[in-house]
Each structure stands twice: as structure tokens, then as C-alpha cells.
Amino acid sequence: MSPYFYVKNYPNPFSSRTTIEYSIDDPGKVSIKVLDLLGREIRTLLSGNEQHGNHSLVFDGSSLSDGVYVVRLGTNGKSISHLIHLVK
């Protein structure tokens, strides 16, 4: 895995909102989705073109139940996942 292709969040665990940071090493179409542990899509946070480099967005999980969710970043034929913990 390239050090310039990652996804993480803070704080983790979080109670309602968390900042998701991600970095991509090449420009292109980027998709960021939140999934449950069964792989079902809960929400699409981003679907569009991005330039290479570091980016961030805020995820509001206040309407979701407590639990562990997966953030999946996909771009240029690659994907990476990160677990986030929602605790109310």
C-alpha cells in the first residue's frame, strides 16, 4: 500500500460526527462509502473526481445506531477500508 493512499478518521470512536481524512496518489474518480459490517451500503459520502493529495470531509452519523461501520475509499481500481466506531 502506498503511503499516499489511505483513509482514517478522528475522533474514533465518535458520538455523532467524525472527520474522515483520505489521501489519493493519482487524480481520478473517487468513491467514499459507509457500509455496515455485512457490506450493505449505508451512505455515499463522495462520488466524483478529486485531485491527488490529502482531503477531508465530515461524516454525521447521528441518525445511525451505535456500532462499527466500514468506510471504503475506492479510486483508480484500488480500494481500502477503515473501521469506524459510533458510540452514543
Domains belonging to the chain, first-starting first, are: 6-86 (2.60.40.1930)
pLDDT of residue 3: 52
Q: What is the pTM of this model?
A: 0.92
- Give me 35's grid cell: 457500509
Terminal Cα distance for the chain, rounded: 33
Tally helices (H) and strands (E) across the chain: 0, 7
pLDDT of residue 50: 95
pLDDT of residue 7: 94
* Residues found in the chain: 88
* Ranges in the chain, pLDDT < 70: 1-3
Residue closest to 33 by CA, chosen among 47, 16, 21, 23: 47
